[in-house]
A and B are shown apart, each in its own frame.
Chain A
Amino acid sequence: MTDVLTFVEIAPDGTVLPSAQTALAAASALGTPVAVGVASGDAVAAELGTLGAARVLLAEPHASLGGAETEAVLAALQLVQPSAVVLAHTTMGQDVAGRVAARLGTGIAVDAVSLRSDDGTVVATHSVFGGSYLTESVVEGGVPVITVREGAIAEAPAAAEGAVTRLDSAVDAARYGVAGERHDAVAAVGRPSLQSADRVVAGGRGLGSAEDFALVEQLADALGAAVGASAPPSTPATSTSRPRSGRPARRSPRPVHRARHLRRDPAPCGHAVREDHRRHQPRPRGPDLRGRRLRYRR
């Protein structure tokens, strides 16, 4: 089995973020997951081991934004010769993936929903245009850098040893921004988050009112599921700040810009919503722009 370098996100207080589970699960489909992350102590290694990391490479934190993480992955690449570098498709994962891929000049595959190894070639499957298409991609030449959609891979790998190696990596502070204070805005809802939930109970306009939406919440609590909503923007009664389930919301604990999400990714909501939208579209006015109808989008 080849090693697969897996970037795991660790919060400053030493908790392993849920995205690490996705990354390690995805990596275990390709080979032996070797976790690389940033933490001041070795205490996280045991938890990463239970998540499937055979080895854990840890670097010291740095005040820069993504600097310690990027340099840790690059330093780890000197120690292990992995068949791929796997990261979760989170904001930090995206930054580190981009930095590492650009530094190495290698190919990068983003937002994969599953990974497999085809005679040693890493094949990433992507869900495109709101799930309308599935594409497969490979990286030719160089070590592939792959980000995996959070929560897309459920199978948990077997627990492993999680032996710690400290990395010796230096951060050139001039190349990175400075990370400051965090302002956490998560309301404790007592339910699993939409990104990581195994089960989701979703409701929408059919429920009629916000009061009836409680049925969805009760069922979700009974099943231990997350709550999703597919309410279109035209029915404020059910348009609370619940995230939609059609497309996993990036920041589910926060209010969602519903209209934007519907327009960005309308497929899961069906045609009714879009036609609804269209009816309210103002009639095009104004001059012709190079012979084409000028469309007002809002």
Chain B
Amino acid sequence: MRVLVLLKQTPDTWGERELDLATGLVRREPSEAVLDEISERAAEAALLLKDADRSTEVVGVSMGPSFTRDAILKALSMGVDAGVHVLDDTLSGADLALTAATLASAIRETGFDLVIAGNESTDGRGGVLPAMLAEHLGVPHLTSLDSFELVDGTVHGARATGSGTMDVQAALPAVISVTERIAEPRFPNFKGIMGAKKKPMTVLAAPSVATVGRSVVTSTTARPARAAGTKIVDDGHAADRLADYLASAGLL
């Protein structure tokens, strides 16, 4: 069985994340580009399948500029068997429609029984890509799974809904997305890190895909600096002033 994991490289949330005000693209300099945490969890979910059944092949798939290779290597060092890197200058600034069509093409070319994605990335927070891929691939999607298991060629899972969970299932092949509850990602060990570079990494050029429309960012503005708050010192009238303040804010 072949399990594909979608990997995304994102700006590290520990640093300042910045957008280029002229182009609207993410500025790469201020923060290190890392494998997104939710991608690590998706990879862990796939590796748990591999731990249970050693015949499972786990392939990491990512799309991005040349240094996205580092993110794929991170997944390989965790234990993923092979990487697929969709690398093409024409994909710079790709919107979701183009990204989904391109990834779907790469996934079809690689072949899959199960595609595991994170439910949403830390930078884009879109969460629509898994369903878009399922539509392109013509397979079922099960998104936002807190847990899942494979039984006789069917994936059963608990989907996080706004008010609890819902039991869902789909026959393979399928696309699923997992939440941060799925599993704690493992640390790459020394052997994994050293072996990662020797694992197969396929670089694919962008296929020619046609989309009807595309989303374009027209303007980007930075949030103005936050103004200082109001501090009320208790001199005997603090309660009155606090009430006045809340009233002036329309809260009373």
Which A residues from 170 to 189 make CB contacts under 8 A with B? 174-186
Which B residues from 205 to 230 make CB contacts under 8 A with A? 210-223
User: When the two chains form the complex, which single residue of A108, A135, A251 contacts B19, counting CB atoms closer than 8 Å?
Assistant: A135
Question: Of A21-29, A32-40, A236-244, A261-269, which stretch is located at the interface?
Answer: A261-269
Classify chain A: how many residues form its interface, as a range. 35 or more
Which B residues from 126 to 169 make CB contacts under 8 A with A? 126-136, 138-144, 158-169
Question: Would B166 and A179 count as touching, CB distance under 8 A?
Answer: yes
**Top 5 A-B residue pairs of the complex, sorted by shortest distance between their CB atoms:** A142-B213, A98-B131, A180-B167, A177-B170, A98-B128
Cβ of B82 < 8 Å from any Cβ of A? no
Cβ of A290 < 8 Å from any Cβ of B? yes
Contact string, B58-88, partner A, CB cutoff 8 A, digits 1/0?
0000000000001001000100000000000
User: When the two chains form the complex, which single residue of A147, A175, A298 contacts B138, counting CB atoms closer than 8 Å?
Assistant: A175
Residues of A near B95 (CB, < 8 A) are 107-108
Question: Would A110 and B168 count as touching, CB distance under 8 A?
Answer: no
Question: Would B212 and A91 count as touching, CB distance under 8 A?
Answer: no
User: When the two chains form the complex, which single residue of A95, A199, A254, A277 contacts B251, counting CB atoms closer than 8 Å?
Assistant: A199
Residues of B near A128 (CB, < 8 A) are 19
> Complex formed: what's the CA distance from A266 to B163 in Å?
25
Residues of B near A94 (CB, < 8 A) are 120, 126-128, 131, 143
Question: Would B142 and A129 count as touching, CB distance under 8 A?
Answer: no
Nearest-Cβ distance from residue B75 to partner chain A, whole angstroms: 13
Could you give 13 example pairs across A and B, Cβ below 8 Å?
A94-B143, A95-B128, A98-B100, A101-B97, A105-B210, A106-B213, A107-B212, A108-B97, A110-B128, A135-B221, A136-B219, A140-B213, A251-B162
User: When the two chains form the complex, which single residue of A111, A123, A142, A295 contacts B218, counting CB atoms closer than 8 Å?
Assistant: A123
> Complex formed: what's the CA distance from A16 to B128 in Å?
22
> Complex formed: what's the CA distance from A265 to B120 in Å?
13
